[in-house]
């Protein structure tokens, strides 16, 4: 069995004692404070479609067990319950806390996401301290906690922050297992990995990449493939995911379309796929940190440690080649890369920091200033982004619309976030699959060679199959790109209300039907 030895150079930061703990405390408290800024702002700043889906699900789970919720609100909450994708672990936790604290509060699940991310930072620090050096632990934690995109993502109510917490814990325990092999560490690594994978399977390949790559150092086929720990790890970490997702795909059927839509191998041959992937990585991390992190891998002196990081990177690349649609269109599918880059990047910066350990005081002071200024710059960028940008006004519009349609439970909408925000704040119901596609959806399907219905043709299909009562439009910008839809609605249906921010059509009163 390959084992890992610890050999660290001299440290730039204090290696132990109260000063090191003060630095860590300051980093974590500062990172927490940034995330608590404007916590009461509606969650429209980061992938509102996904967040409101989780909020609707948590509300429905709360309604199922609440005796205090009004009957009408409970009916709407249950009717608006989204179909399950991932296991609703984060949503169950939120609904439980709603009951504990006496009612629904949007700040509760957002605070839980922040806690998940902060715990992930602790595991990342511990891993980088062992894998790279004590300095590497501080650098990796600081990068992970202050990266502006990570700050926004860590406030998001979706499964990803919980997955990141379990992911960092799993790779930490995998590394601990190879450093000091024991059955206890193998079981812990396997169980934590199982939690990460079932929360969101995007963590599967990086986790297995890390576990498997270290074995390659031995170059012994028997040690690589025939040792029992590989099969124990695979069984414990994969069986829960196979049971849940296997049932959902093959029995429930909902995830079958998602699975087909996720893996589109023909995209790999398209230039726009690689360009989109590059843009997503650039949005989340920036290109220079990624390049420096690749350099950091090369600077590692230990083959075992280098293979461990290469395994994480290889797992991420395989993950991207499977989730071909999402990897080049959804920036949050790069979240798994943040802790990987943080680990790799810390080695490159450790070389810089260790180079000035014995330098003159001026250069040591200059590096300290660089470290602090980088953190201050990222804090400023995050706080500028987290400011309230008129989201309260959008909430009031949704609430006004809900009142005008008497909180109808059978609506069709062209609304931001596929109508999830409208359903949540307006307390109306429109089944997710019956929301009107945005122009981007039509264009994406046509680009992939699909034949799609548009305009009046699609409108007639939705009306005949679902008989919705109202068509609510709040995404006025997208409506401009779908003039054929507006012409069909204006020609056939009366307007219940019209304002600069929305239009409501009464689909029950077709002018062409006597």
Q: What is the pLDDT of residues 70-125, one digit of tens each?
A: 888 899 999 999 888 889 999 999 999 999 998 899 999 999 999 999 999 999 99
Maximum distance among all alpha carbons in the chain? Answer: 90
For the chain, how big is the Rg over CA atoms in Å?
25
Residue 2, exposed/middle/buried by CB under 10 A (0-12, 13-18, 19+)?
middle
Q: In this structure, what DSSP letter does residue 84 have?
A: P
Asked if the model's pLDDT at residue 5 lies above 60, the reply is no
Q: Residue 247's pLDDT is what?
A: 77
Q: Is 407 helix (H, G, I), strand (E, B) or coil?
A: coil
Residues of the chain with pLDDT > 90: what percent?
A: 60
d(CA 173, CA 127): 8
Contacts of 228 (CB under 8 A, 6+ apart): none
Spatial contact of 51 and 82, defined as CB atoms under 8 Å apart: no
pLDDT band, very low/low/confident/very high, at 344 (cuts 50, 70, 90): very high
Q: Residue 1's pLDDT is what?
A: 53
pLDDT band, very low/low/confident/very high, at 448 (cuts 50, 70, 90): low
Asked if the model's pLDDT at residue 58 lies above 80, the reply is yes
Q: Residue 405's pLDDT is what?
A: 94
Q: Which of 469, 468, 467, 473 is nearest to 486 (CA)?
A: 473
Three-class SS string for 207-268?
Answer: HHHHHHHHHHHHCCHHHHHHCHHHHHHHHHHHHHHHHHHHHHHHHHCHHHHHHHHHCCHHHH
Q: Residue 6's pLDDT is what?
A: 46
Q: Residue 198's pLDDT is what?
A: 95
pLDDT band, very low/low/confident/very high, at 258 (cuts 50, 70, 90): low
Task: Parse the chain into domains and list their residue ranges.
Answer: 18-39+111-385, 50-110, 391-506
d(CA 173, CA 270): 38
Contacts of 404 (CB under 8 A, 6+ apart): 496, 497, 504
pLDDT in tens, 413-437: 999 888 899 999 999 998 656 688 8
Residue 79 structure tokens: 């009717």
For 308-315, what is the mean pLDDT?
95
466 or 200, higher pLDDT? 200
d(CA 78, CA 60): 5
Asked if the model's pLDDT at residue 17 lies above 80, the reply is no
- Global pTM reads 0.91
């Amino acid at each position: 069995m390959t084992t890992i030895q610890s050999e660290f150079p001299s440290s730039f930061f204090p290696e132990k004692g109260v000063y090191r703990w003060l630095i860590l405390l300051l980093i974590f408290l500062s990172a927490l404070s940034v995330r608590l800024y404007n916590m009461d702002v509606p969650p429209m700043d980061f992938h509102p479609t996904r967040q409101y889906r989780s909020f609707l699900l948590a509300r429905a789970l709360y309604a199922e067990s609440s005796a205090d919720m009004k009957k009408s609100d409970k009916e709407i909450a249950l009717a608006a319950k989204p179909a399950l994708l991932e296991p609703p672990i984060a949503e169950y936790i939120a609904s439980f806390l709603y009951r504990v604290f006496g009612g629904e509060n949007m700040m509760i699940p957002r605070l839980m996401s922040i806690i998940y991310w902060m715990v992930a930072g602790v595991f990342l620090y511990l891993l980088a301290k062992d894998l790279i050096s004590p300095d590497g632990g501080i650098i990796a934690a600081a990068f992970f906690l202050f990266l502006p995109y990570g700050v926004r993502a860590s406030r998001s109510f979706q499964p990803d922050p919980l997955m990141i917490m379990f992911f960092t814990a799993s790779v930490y325990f995998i590394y601990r297992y190879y450093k000091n092999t024991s059955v206890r560490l193998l079981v812990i690594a396997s169980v934590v990995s199982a939690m990460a994978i079932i929360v969101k399977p995007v963590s599967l390949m990086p986790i297995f990449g890390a576990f498997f790559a270290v074995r390659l150092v031995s170059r012994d086929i028997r040690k690589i493939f025939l040792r029992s720990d590989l099969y124990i790890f695979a069984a414990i970490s994969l069986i829960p995911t196979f049971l849940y997702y296997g049932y959902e795909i093959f029995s429930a059927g909902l995830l079958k379309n998602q699975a087909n839509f996720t893996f589109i191998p023909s995209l790999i041959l398209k230039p726009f796929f690689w360009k989109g992937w590059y843009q997503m990585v650039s949005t989340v991390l920036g290109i220079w940190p990624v390049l420096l992190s690749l350099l950091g891998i090369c600077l590692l002196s230990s083959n075992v440690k280098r293979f461990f990081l290469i395994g994480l990177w290889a797992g991420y690349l395989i993950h991207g080649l499977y989730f071909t649609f999402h990897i080049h269109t959804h920036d949050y599918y790069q979240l798994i890369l943040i802790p990987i880059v943080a680990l790799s990047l810390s080695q490159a910066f450790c070389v810089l920091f260790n180079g000035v350990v014995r330098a003159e005081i001026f250069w040591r002071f200059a590096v300290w200033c660089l470290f602090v200024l980088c953190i201050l710059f990222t804090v400023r960028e995050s706080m500028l982004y987290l400011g309230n940008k008129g989201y309260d006004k959008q909430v009031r519009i949704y609430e006004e619309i809900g009142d005008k349609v008497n909180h109808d439970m059978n609506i069709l909408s062209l609304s931001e976030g596929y109508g999830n925000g409208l359903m949540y704040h307006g307390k109306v119901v429109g089944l997710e699959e019956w929301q009107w596609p945005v122009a981007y959806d039509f264009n994406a399907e046509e680009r992939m060679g699909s034949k799609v219905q548009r305009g009046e043709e699609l409108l007639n299909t939705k009306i005949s199959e679902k008989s919705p009562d109202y068509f609510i439009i709040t995404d006025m910008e997208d409506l401009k790109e779908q003039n054929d839809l507006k012409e069909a609605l204006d020609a056939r249906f009366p307007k219940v209300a019209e304002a600069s921010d929305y239009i409501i059509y009464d689909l029950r009163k077709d002018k062409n039907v006597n």
